[in-house]
């Protein structure tokens, strides 16, 4: 069974994007030079999974990815991506393996597990991550907490997961961000 990790940044008040789906607040936050968590994630992840809003934001903010996969590969190498979406107008990044999917997460997880040898990075959004947890498929949450409050927006994880199933396994300060890694016992 591939390890499923939700790796994301969040505001102090628990939002991964503001009310306009913007991440400008994140890029305004000073980050440190410690790439340990990113390097671990990349070493463990063989596939990416995200929602349509996250994918749309990525291609809108780096449109050069659509015509030249070099930018995509700079960040994600040749990892295939599964995008959960109902949208029919999302373009695929040329020269990469993009799967647009709908429905329950379990069958897609099974498809990914059969296709890759390694872990799965849940890029976002929070509701999709919650669906993976609802299906008993979430193993780890790595949250980089930034010193900003947004007041509203897309929540980090709009589900209740209690301390019975969640354990802190690592804490690291990097620049102005505090990164906390939690192990989630599958339900």
The domain segmentation of the chain, as residue ranges, is: 4-184
Q: CA 113, CA 137: separation in Å to the nearest integer?
A: 12
Q: What CATH number labels 4-184?
A: 3.40.430.10
Cβ(82)–Cβ(101) below 8 Å: yes
Which tens digit of pLDDT belongs to each residue from 80-97? 999 999 999 999 998 899
pLDDT at res. 174: 86
pLDDT at res. 25: 93
First and final C-alpha spacing in the chain: 15
Of residues 61 and 3, more confidence is placed in 3
Which tens digit of pLDDT belongs to each residue from 117-126? 999 999 999 9
Residue 34 in tokens:
């410690």
């Amino acid at each position: 069974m591939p390890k499923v990790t939700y790796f994301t940044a969040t505001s102090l008040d628990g939002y991964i994007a503001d009310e306009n789906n913007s991440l400008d607040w994140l890029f305004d936050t000073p980050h440190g030079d410690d790439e340990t968590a990113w390097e671990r994630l990349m070493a463990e992840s063989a596939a990416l999974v995200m929602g349509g809003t996250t994918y749309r934001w990525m291609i809108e903010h780096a449109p050069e990815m659509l015509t030249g996969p070099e930018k995509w590969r700079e960040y994600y190498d040749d990892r295939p991506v599964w995008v959960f979406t109902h949208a029919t107008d999302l373009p695929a990044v040329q020269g990469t393996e993009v799967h647009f999917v709908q429905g329950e997460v379990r069958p897609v997880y099974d498809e990914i597990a059969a296709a890759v040898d390694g872990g799965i990075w849940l890029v976002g959004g929070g509701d999709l991550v919650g669906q993976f947890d609802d299906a008993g498929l979430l193993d780890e949450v790595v949250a980089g907490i930034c010193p900003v409050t947004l007041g509203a927006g897309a929540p980090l994880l709009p589900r209740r997961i209690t301390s019975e199933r969640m354990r802190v396994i690592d804490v690291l300060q990097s620049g102005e961000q505090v990164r906390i890694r939690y192990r989630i016992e599958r339900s």
